A and B are shown apart, each in its own frame.
Chain A
Amino acid sequence: MSKKELLSKIGLRLDGRRAHELRRIRCKLGVFTEPDGSAYMEQGLTKVLAAVYGPHQVRGSKSKAQHDNVVINCQFSMAVFSTTDRKKRPRGDRKSTELSMHLQQALESVIKTELYPWSQIDVYVEVLHADGGIYPACVNAATLALIDAGIPLKEYVCACTASLANNDVPMVDISHQEEVLGGPTLTIAALPMSGKIVLMEMSQRFHLDHLDKVMNKALQGCKDIRRILDEAVRLHVRDVGSATGWALAT
């Protein structure tokens, strides 16, 4: 086997997780005061900040404005110090543009866009540290920031990666080390409550035989993440609410 074993014979991954375990997630809503909504998200060592402005009038060219929908504008960027090699990343390089588009696609699926015709929502995400699974962390952070901004959502949108260990066992939430050593990675953004998949991307081809189990794993990951996000949101609401007194009733 030329590829490194990602799952030891006793069933532990290189960092000590089991195949079905997510990395540790830490998140916080309302980390900034200036934007309408903001969130900080840690998935393992991947750290992301998200900020939401809006809804507000369409800025710049008015022709973008839509009569029945809100325009969602996503901007993805990576901090210079976010990876091991500190290279300068120009805003709007191919990778950033692609990630921005994918982020927009995921968010459009949950925002009740019809509520804000002729308006625009801006979502900015910045990766502070990258250790695999950048896109999922961005989606999850953006979801929290949208909630913080009080924008009506149909439900949570969560994203997660999955891959195959030792060409056989599906494993969830892939770290950078596993991405580099392992095979193809599948990224899914989903609405975990209804089970709908809104975006799916593969770094390489999967064999059809494997796709199902890897996809299910990623979906399960999304559901697990939702639970954690939900808890964080409830906690945040309680904190904010207790200050104003109305949350005490619950």
Chain B
Amino acid sequence: MFTTKTFIKKTRIGHFLKHVREHYIRDDISCGFRSCEKCNPVESFLSPNHHNKCALFNYDHYIILDTNVILDQMDVLEEAPIGNVIILHTVITEVKHRSLPIYKRLFTLIENPSKHFYIFTNDHHKDTYIEQLDGELVNDYNDRCIRKACSWYMEHLPNEKFILLTEDVNNRNIAIEEGITACSIFPYVKHMNDNAVLEDKLSRKEIYLDKDARDLFPPHLNNVQLLNGIKEGTLYQGTFRASRDNFLEGFVNVEALEDQVLVQGRTGLNRAVDGDVVVVELFDKSDWISPSDIILEDEGTVEDVEEIEQKEKQLKETTTKKGEIKPTGKVVGIIRRKWRQYCGILQGGLEGVYQLFVPADRSIPKIRIETRQAEFLKTQKLIVTIDSWPRYSRYPHGHFVRALGKIGDQSTENEVILLEHDVPHSQFSEEVLSCLPKLPWIITDEDLQKRVDLRDLDICSVDPPGCTDIDDALHCREVGDHLEVGVHIADVSHFIRPYTALDLEAQSRGTTVYLVNKRIDMVPNLLSSNLCSLRGGEERFAFSCIWEMDKKANILNTRFHKSIIKSKKAMTYEEAQMTIDDKSKNDNIAKSLRYLLMLSKILKKGRLDNGALVLASPEVKIMMDSETMEPLDIEVKKMFETMSMVEEFMLLANISVAEKILQDFPECACLRRHPVPPSSNFDPLIKAGRHLGLEINVESGKELAKSLDEAVKPDNPFLNTMIRILATRCMLQAVYFASGTMQKEDYFHYGLAVPLYTHFTSPIRRYADIIVHRLLAVSCGSDVTYPDLLDKAKTSEICQNLNYRNRMAQYAGRASIAFNTHLFFKGKLQDEQGYILYVRKNALQVLIPKYGLESTLYLARKGESSDIFEYNEEDQTQRAKDVVLHAFDPVKVRLSLNSDNIQHEKFVLQLVSPYIEGFSVPPIEEMDTSETNIESGKKRKKDGNEKKSKSKKNSKNTN
């Protein structure tokens, strides 16, 4: 078999290098049909029991796909009626080259037995391999390979029928000439049984609405022009980011330029969609403008050109050349589309098969789709994807992928949030669950031998109320003159072994995601809420970090080992606080807690003196009705001293572990760094401080911490918190990394002001901690390494995924809070204390701490300037006669919810006090005593409706 292979040279010329590679042709590649006697038997999902039913072909048949069908019609191919498909290796190679996401989806299909796909390696098969001719284009060659394989199959299995699906007219025609049955996927799908759903999912590149439709957009340059332009330095490549507030504005992040490039208007954006890699051309410096500060919303329907022209005019009028001028340009071409699937709803009020889809993500334009089930889809949240954006069309064209559920249902909304944030949330597979230990779980003698028995110690856990995944427990006792402090962390890595399905699943999820009324676990419930959770009174495995300290909290020595513990009590922060405060309690637990609190205060002071930052972001908790799952009330989380007590020891454990694993694994330790923000990030903070007469020093973390501490004004007690909230927004995200991929000085954690940090203390809900546990277990000799653990490239790859998952989990959590806050306010009307965060040209950004809510109070209608207020750009103030509004000023606002747009319900704010004639509204108490009278709410809303408002709940927390 080995010696019979023919030998063919393959050359690839590029950069004046001649590459010669071997290409072996084999005689042992099977056709994939179990019934075939000519080929070696091979594992294949092709099945005579699946029948492709298409009225055009009145017989059972197998499908061979051309590359273009796979690239464009994945949503159709994923549907159950299509099966028994032969995928040629030539096609796979082409797909992989063109689109990795599609390639991945293709493999999911191939690996799914119920889809009956089979890979035929035609390019290594002795009968189907053909040589590329001199001067033959790669595309033509691939087409020829595909046709060759089709003919071979027909000859090899004369009793079976094969149909080639291809969108390439040329290829199709030649195929038919050569006697191959070939067809386009459009007629094929149209003639399938039950085609309604399938047909909606067809991706259409071209929709001709109106033959004389004029072009609305300038053409894109071709690739050669783009690449030449970039090479010559006349054009710049970058990632396009659409503005969320203004559909006619966006930025291009160009790596080669220091500043982002501003693009505006229809021709400026030229069909770029958020995330696309585009090419921009810069205007002359004299034409540079500053970003507009107005909010523009796309209110168009279908091919409504006038609307967009009017909006453009409006935009032009408000653009200035004053203020912060940005490099300005226009998009002239697109290198790579980053189109994905979008969640959203159909825009109401349209008849017929052509519908307009409104994505939930505001930075994505509306999408035109064709559907035969519009009436049903109008009640649903759905997923749609973009197929193309021709020049004559105001909106991109796309197709329906699937429906998620009824609009407004909690479950639908959760699904949307999870999908929009790419959170893996399907049920754990059987394979994953099979990795779990069998119940009843018993501690064996062997376990006891390997672990230090700490069951006699008075260990307890302190957590928020209702916590079922208890990661950590603590103890402290006197040993001679000194104190022994122990942090005991759930030993998750004992249960999750490398390379198991459970491990891979946890690794891919990366973190547990918390929505308001739903938790998406990283590991199955049996582990997260039972075997790993350090519950009170139960024997559990733990990984212990134990310090000997003197009473001034100086660490004398540190040791790590695996242990068995029995937590005496699982306490809430409040309970622990009460135990400490209750002088009559003097048991071991109370003593232990008092010592811990005492030490934690010293540790915290040391940390703060060292320059650690105390940042603030209003954290709110939504009280739910446990039966109806509706929000009852929203409250800011209560703070106890015991919270910071636990936090201090977690920080300390993380730092100690980071030092240990870096020492033993200098290349592949999984650490966490918080980069120093570039100084320009602090500009808004410095500016805000200056208006208040406060000098904020941002030269170092230590200076910043000091400035923040000093930013106090007796007349405004909330000011300090506001400053801290602003400071939080200047920060960068903290990230995981593999130690071997960074310079030592970059390991620094800016927020905590420590040179080394990692995550060790929450392995139940964070995968990084599991890696750290495994490293530490090797360090202390209780476990062995495995290849990926010592591979810094692999660790780095895992870290990147974790960083992405963490960020998404954070956004998803906030989105969930926002949704529930909206639900809570539906039909309510309340006056609340707020503070001005920023002063804008036509609006005030107001923070309402009670609900952790940030929203815009409009001073004038869209696009107009107020005749009551006078904006002072220098001082960042708004003046109305004798009332001057500064940033950080307290205001009383009326809060209600505008549900006109069900995808983007917005809070409407109205000023109550200070009272400004002709603008403010009277306090609620004076006009109506009932706070939540729905009737009055509706009535008031009509009045308030004129002022459009939007909620911007998502604060940019960076910790």
**Same assembly:** yes
Chain A interfacial positions (CB closer than 8 Å to B): 1-3, 8-10, 12, 14-17, 21-24, 44-45, 84-85, 131, 167, 175, 177, 205, 207-210
Chain B interfacial positions (CB closer than 8 Å to A): 2-3, 5, 7, 17-26, 89, 107, 110-111, 119, 121, 123-124, 785-788, 790-791, 793-794, 797
CA distance A245 to B413 in the complex (A): 91
CA distance A97 to B26 in the complex (A): 39
Known A-B contacts A22-B2, A167-B787; A9 and B22 likewise in contact (beta carbons under 8 Å) = no
Which single member of A2, A23, A209 contacts B22 (CB below 8 Å)? A23
Report the minimum CB–CB distance from A70 to chain B (whole Å): 37
Q: Are B786 and A85 in contact (CB under 8 A)?
A: no
Residues of A with C-beta under 8 A to B123? 16
Q: Are A207 and B24 in contact (CB under 8 A)?
A: no
Q: Are A12 and B110 in contact (CB under 8 A)?
A: no
Known A-B contacts A24-B7, A85-B17, A207-B785; A15 and B23 likewise in contact (beta carbons under 8 Å) = yes
Q: Are A15 and B21 in contact (CB under 8 A)?
A: yes
Report the minimum CB–CB distance from B132 to chain A (whole Å): 16
Q: Are A16 and B110 in contact (CB under 8 A)?
A: no
Q: Are A177 and B23 in contact (CB under 8 A)?
A: no
Residues of B with C-beta under 8 A to A14? 21
Q: Are B2 and A16 in contact (CB under 8 A)?
A: no
Report the minimum CB–CB distance from A85 to chain B (whole Å): 7
The residue of chain B having its C-beta at the shortest distance from the C-beta of A206 within the complex is B787
Q: Are A24 and B5 in contact (CB under 8 A)?
A: yes
The residue of chain A having its C-beta at the shortest distance from the C-beta of B96 within the complex is A5
The residue of chain A having its C-beta at the shortest distance from the C-beta of B5 within the complex is A24
Known A-B contacts A85-B17, A209-B787; A1 and B25 likewise in contact (beta carbons under 8 Å) = no
- Listed by A's residue number, 17 A-B pairs whose Cβ atoms lie within 8 Å are A9-B111, A10-B89, A10-B119, A15-B22, A15-B23, A16-B123, A16-B124, A17-B24, A22-B2, A23-B22, A24-B7, A44-B22, A84-B19, A131-B20, A207-B786, A207-B787, A207-B791
Q: A23-B22, A175-B22 are in contact. List 19 more A-B contacts (CB 8 A).
A: A2-B793, A2-B797, A9-B107, A9-B111, A12-B124, A14-B21, A15-B21, A15-B23, A16-B23, A16-B24, A16-B26, A24-B3, A24-B5, A24-B22, A167-B791, A205-B790, A207-B786, A207-B787, A209-B786
Report the minimum CB–CB distance from A121 to chain B (whole Å): 33
Known A-B contacts A9-B119, A24-B5; A84 and B24 likewise in contact (beta carbons under 8 Å) = no
Known A-B contacts A10-B121, A21-B2; A45 and B20 likewise in contact (beta carbons under 8 Å) = yes
CA distance A205 to B110 in the complex (A): 35
Residues of A with C-beta under 8 A to B3? 24
CA distance A72 to B111 in the complex (A): 56
Residues of A with C-beta under 8 A to B793? 2-3
Report the minimum CB–CB distance from A178 to chain B (whole Å): 11
Residues of A with C-beta under 8 A to B17? 84-85
CA distance A24 to B121 in the complex (A): 20
CA distance A91 to B790 in the complex (A): 38
Q: Are B797 and A84 in contact (CB under 8 A)?
A: no
Residues of A with C-beta under 8 A to B18? 84
Residues of B with C-beta under 8 A to A85? 17
Which single member of A12, A45, A175, A205 contacts B121 (CB below 8 Å)? A12
Known A-B contacts A2-B797, A16-B124, A84-B19; A210 and B787 likewise in contact (beta carbons under 8 Å) = yes
The residue of chain A having its C-beta at the shortest distance from the C-beta of B499 within the complex is A168
Residues of B with C-beta under 8 A to A21? 2
Q: Are A9 and B110 in contact (CB under 8 A)?
A: yes
CA distance A208 to B791 in the complex (A): 12
Residues of A with C-beta under 8 A to B5? 24
Q: Are A207 and B21 in contact (CB under 8 A)?
A: no
The residue of chain A having its C-beta at the shortest distance from the C-beta of B92 within the complex is A8
CA distance A142 to B794 in the complex (A): 39
Nearest first, the 9 closest Cβ-Cβ pairs linking A and B are: A207-B787, A16-B24, A16-B124, A15-B22, A84-B17, A44-B22, A10-B119, A17-B24, A15-B24
Residues of B with C-beta under 8 A to A10? 89, 119, 121
Q: Are A177 and B787 in contact (CB under 8 A)?
A: no
Q: Are A177 and B21 in contact (CB under 8 A)?
A: yes
CA distance A9 to B165 in the complex (A): 24
CA distance A22 to B17 in the complex (A): 26
Report the minimum CB–CB distance from A232 to chain B (whole Å): 13
Residues of B with C-beta under 8 A to A24? 3, 5, 7, 22, 24
Residues of A with C-beta under 8 A to B89? 8, 10
Report the minimum CB–CB distance from A231 to chain B (whole Å): 10
CA distance A208 to B20 in the complex (A): 34
CA distance A12 to B119 in the complex (A): 12
Report the minimum CB–CB distance from A54 to chain B (whole Å): 34
CA distance A10 to B92 in the complex (A): 12
Report the minimum CB–CB distance from A226 to chain B (whole Å): 15
Residues of A with C-beta under 8 A to B786? 207, 209
Residues of B with C-beta under 8 A to A1? 797
CA distance A16 to B5 in the complex (A): 10
Residues of A with C-beta under 8 A to B107? 9
Residues of A with C-beta under 8 A to B790? 205, 207
CA distance A9 to B104 in the complex (A): 12
Report the minimum CB–CB distance from B485 to chain A (whole Å): 36
Residues of B with C-beta under 8 A to A15? 21-24
CA distance A45 to B123 in the complex (A): 20
CA distance A131 to B9 in the complex (A): 13
Report the minimum CB–CB distance from A29 to chain B (whole Å): 19
The residue of chain B having its C-beta at the shortest distance from the C-beta of A176 within the complex is B21
Report the minimum CB–CB distance from A17 to chain B (whole Å): 6
The residue of chain A having its C-beta at the shortest distance from the C-beta of B793 within the complex is A2
CA distance A223 to B533 in the complex (A): 54
Report the minimum CB–CB distance from B939 to chain A (whole Å): 60
Which single member of B20, B25, B788 contacts A167 (CB below 8 Å)? B788
Residues of A with C-beta under 8 A to B111? 9
Residues of B with C-beta under 8 A to A177? 21
The residue of chain B having its C-beta at the shortest distance from the C-beta of A207 within the complex is B787
CA distance A208 to B89 in the complex (A): 35
CA distance A165 to B121 in the complex (A): 19
CA distance A2 to B791 in the complex (A): 12
Q: Which of B119, B787, B791, B794 has most A Cβ within 10 Å?
A: B787
CA distance A2 to B25 in the complex (A): 28
Report the minimum CB–CB distance from A191 to chain B (whole Å): 23
CA distance A84 to B124 in the complex (A): 25
CA distance A21 to B22 in the complex (A): 13
CA distance A176 to B121 in the complex (A): 23
CA distance A202 to B106 in the complex (A): 36
Residues of A with C-beta under 8 A to B24? 15-17, 24
The residue of chain B having its C-beta at the shortest distance from the C-beta of A164 within the complex is B787
The residue of chain B having its C-beta at the shortest distance from the C-beta of A175 within the complex is B22
